[in-house]
Amino acid sequence: MEYKITARNEKETIDLAQNLESEKFPNMIICLEGDLGSGKTVFTKGFAESLGIEETITSPTFNIVKEYFSGEMPLYHMDVYRLDGNVNNVGIEEYYTKNGIVIIEWADLIKSTLPEERLEIKIKVIDEDTRILIVKPIGKKYEDLCESVL
């Protein structure tokens, strides 16, 4: 099952992220897909804010992974665009079991290394402000999460 949500502005994207955060659990994996400027980092900012993280959230394009520990749970924010699908020697899979939340931007580029269960969110740009977010839960935990908040 997929859920299609229309966000007419950044606030509505942030609201979705905060709704999902309200049902967070350890080792939660959120995979974000979308063109440059579609709102992947905006989503992550909203999620982080709800976690209580006070640091400024920026895309970790040049770092690959940024770690935040000031919130209710650790947040591991990844941008795998620059890896060109080559995740060898990066240790991404180690983050899946660190009892935090992993949000991966450009996750579609590393599909073969994603965990079997995860939440996929594809963001499609409609116009300058409007986005369609297609939310696809993979696994029972994520199905239950979506049923609770969407």
Mean model confidence pLDDT for the chain: 94
Confidence of residue 36 (pLDDT cuts 50, 70, 90): very high
Residue 84: the pLDDT is 72
Weakest mean pLDDT among 37-51, 60-74, 95-109, 113-127: 60-74
Beta bridge mates, 138:
118
Does residue 86 have a pLDDT over 80?
no
Q: For residues 79 and 41, what is the distance between their CA atoms, to the nearest angstrom? A: 9
pLDDT for the residue numbered 139? 97
Range in 33-47, 48-62, 100-114 the model is least confident about? 48-62
The CA distance from 139 to 119, in Å, is: 8
% residues pLDDT > 90 (the chain): 86
User: How many structural domains are present in the chain?
Assistant: 1
How far, in Å, CA of 36 to CA of 125, rounded? 10
> pLDDT per residue over 44-77, tens digit each?
999 999 999 999 998 887 788 999 999 999 999 9
**One-letter amino acid identity for 76?**
Y
pLDDT given at position 85: 66
Instruction: Write the CATH number for 101.
Output: 3.40.50.300
* Whole-angstrom distance, CA of residue 131 vs CA of residue 5: 8
pLDDT of residue 113: 93
| Distance in angstroms (rounded) separating the CA atoms of residues 119 and 115 | 10
So what's the pLDDT on residue 82? 84
**20 lies in which domain range?**
3-149
